[in-house]
Chains A and B, each alone.
Chain A
Amino acid sequence: MSAKKYVPIGNILPPMPCSWSVGPYMERFYQDLGEKKFTGVKCKCGRVSVPPRKLCPACGKVMEKFVVVKPTGELVNFTVAYQNVAGQRRKTPVIIGLVKLAGADTALIGEVRGLDPAAVKTGIKVKAVWADKPGNTVESLSHFAPVEG
């Protein structure tokens, strides 16, 4: 007996385009990114969150004071990607780092260029390198690069 074991289902559902509202805090972040600035928000408890958000992750209070932090910081964590999302080997491995900007209590994710993947380590000082034409999108930040000297 040959039973029908599977029913193949192709694209049964209509497309599901989404557009997520950013809200006033992230709107400010994106805007300032276009002016080559990293904006965060400082809580009364002292914690600085970059990107900014309404409620403090540490004490739960509403945060209202926007602050601009420096575009330089320290590599606090990283991975070297040898494969892309599609599962293909990359010709050149890519360093993806978590960068704690000076003055922030949080880290931003970004590509780090200009370092040998075999020699990358935490604690290295890096700076933001901006896109040629920054706008109010995350692409304004091209990558991070080591600070000379």
Chain B
Amino acid sequence: MPQVAIVGVGQNKHRAKRRDVNIPEMISEAVENAFKNSCLGPDDVDAVVFGNMHTFGGLNQPELWSGPMLGLADKPMMRIATGGTTGATTAAAAYYHVASGLAKTVLAIAYEKQSDGQTQTALVSIAMPEGLFMLRHQPYGGIEVMQAGGSVGAAAYQAQSYMQHSGATEEHLCLHVVKNRRNACKNPYAHLQVPNITVEDVMQTPLIASPIRYGFTCPASDGACAMIYTTAAKAKKVCDQPAFVLGLASCATDPALNPAGATLSDPAEQLACKLAAKWAYERAGIENPAKEIDLAEIYDPFAHQEMMWSERLGLFPEGKGPEMLKKGVTQMDGDLPINCSGGVISTNAIGATAMIRVGEAALQIMGKAGEHQAPKKIKKTVSHGWGGLFQFVSVTVLGSEPKKGAGK
């Protein structure tokens, strides 16, 4: 099986509204940047993988644009849509293309243009039929709670549980937001950049659905990400320091939440994350992630989540996330920097978001992250994507060297 590497990452500046361009025009900016970043061009691409969320932007089949409208005429193409993990799954599909030996160089594209459509409506429609039925008929206002802020109403249960079990306080959640939105100021593509944001600023924002405050939630962004995957052999020819894909895995478990509210199981337990991480680390040959992982890019649209995921990904012991955050371990210059990009709490173009986690980790390995490059040498990273009904997780491990003992 050929080893696979990332040689190009492109994004555009994320904003609340990109009303100046249409969808393919917006995506083409990220594609152009990925090519510029990689020294490769459209002629080098053997196939395209294209991802965005279902019905977001009010459109069902945006893959119509994935070829000729993006300057990639007549290429083999597939579309991926797996909810919040779409970007990571799209990146994974590009990896599988190359790893299978069926394609040499593959372009992965993911985007969201939320300002063109109604994200709230599209989000509410993500449900099992039983869930929709209960939302419709339950007397205590499930649909109102969900619509209070898209997925906020559902995330509230997870935040409540995580805070109760870990001891994370509102102050910890504020610290997370402050860390990431300040990091975002150093990332030219990030959406919410708040240079002097303080814990007090976040704390005084109003509650949406307790314990989630307005300041504990991500923005809705328009933006795109494109990445170029190729064989390790070709990567070494076109790139000084590629980011090698060491292992990846996805897992979907039974939902701890259905859209009608909490069930008896715990939405903060996140078995899917633990399993996906276990499998990805095994494939990557990582035995002790807490020691071996140098940097993480984590899907954190809500302020309690970076701490929670960092534990579920095995980077810290269970319940230690808040302490590590407070100690500064996860700062850009800390021992285990998390979300140097500013994370999802600063930028969330939903379909692109989980791909940006992989792309940002790749940039850190390649040494191309610019102002938000972590000062320590980055050899191994973990990227995390989250979605579904709170139970679908995708984990990708990248490295500065190819996997030992594997084929070319």
Query: What residues make up the interface of A, taking CB atoms closer than 8 Å to B?
Result: 7, 9, 12-26, 53-62
**Known interface pairs A13-B124, A14-B121; A26-B129 also in contact (CB < 8 Å):** no
Does B9 sit at the interface, judged by CB under 8 A?
Answer: no
**Majority secondary structure, A binding face:** loop
Given contacts A16-B58, A23-B25, A59-B73, contact A9 B133 (CB under 8 A): yes
Other A-B contacts than A12-B135, A23-B22, 15 sampled, CB-CB below 8 A, are A7-B129, A12-B136, A16-B55, A16-B122, A18-B57, A18-B116, A20-B23, A21-B21, A21-B22, A21-B23, A21-B115, A21-B116, A23-B20, A55-B68, A60-B71
Once bound together, how far apart are the Cα atoms of A21 and B27, in whole Å?
Answer: 13
Closest to A14 in B: B121
For the complex formed, measure the closest distance between the CB of B82 and the CB atoms of chain A, giving whole angstroms: 21
Tally of B interface residues using CB under 8 Å: 37
Interchain CA distance A62-B69 in the complex, whole Å: 10
The 3 closest A-B pairs by CB, nearest first: A18-B58, A23-B22, A60-B71
CB–CB B68/A57 < 8 A: yes
Are B117 and A60 in contact, CB atoms less than 8 angstroms apart? no
Question: What are 16 A-B contacts with C-beta separation under 8 Å?
Answer: A7-B133, A9-B132, A12-B135, A12-B143, A13-B124, A14-B120, A14-B121, A14-B147, A16-B121, A20-B23, A20-B116, A21-B21, A23-B25, A24-B21, A55-B28, A55-B71
Bound CA–CA A134/B121 (angstroms): 35
Chain A CB within 8 A of B70 CB: yes
Considering the chains assembled together, what is the distance between the CA atoms of A13 and B120 in angstroms?
10
Chain B residues 265 to 286 lying within 8 A of chain A, measured CB to CB, are none
Once the chains are docked, how many angstroms separate the CA of A16 from the CA of B23?
Answer: 18
A19 / chain B contacts, CB cutoff of 8 Å:
116
- State in angstroms the CA–CA spacing of A16 and B24 once bound together: 21
* Chain B residues with CB under 8 A of A57: 68-69, 73
* Chain B residues with CB below 8 A from A12, complex form: 132, 135-136, 143
From A24, A54, A60, contact of B42 by CB (8 A):
A60
* Nearest-neighbor residue (CB-CB) of A22 within chain B: B22
CB distance from B396 to the nearest CB of A (A): 29
Interchain CB contact under 8 A, B20 and A21: yes
Separation in Å of the B35 CB from the closest CB of chain A?
11
Q: In the complex, which residue of chain B has the Cβ closest to the Cβ of A55? A: B71
Q: Which B residues touch A23, using CB under 8 A?
A: 20-22, 25
Q: How far is the CA of A60 from the CA of B107 in the complex (A)?
A: 15
Using A7-B129, A54-B25, A60-B68 as known contacts, say yes or no to A21 and B113 having CB atoms under 8 A apart.
Answer: yes
Known contacts A24-B20, A54-B28; A15/B121 CB under 8 A: yes
Quick one: closest A residue to B133, CB to CB?
A7
Q: B18 near A: Cβ within 8 Å?
A: yes
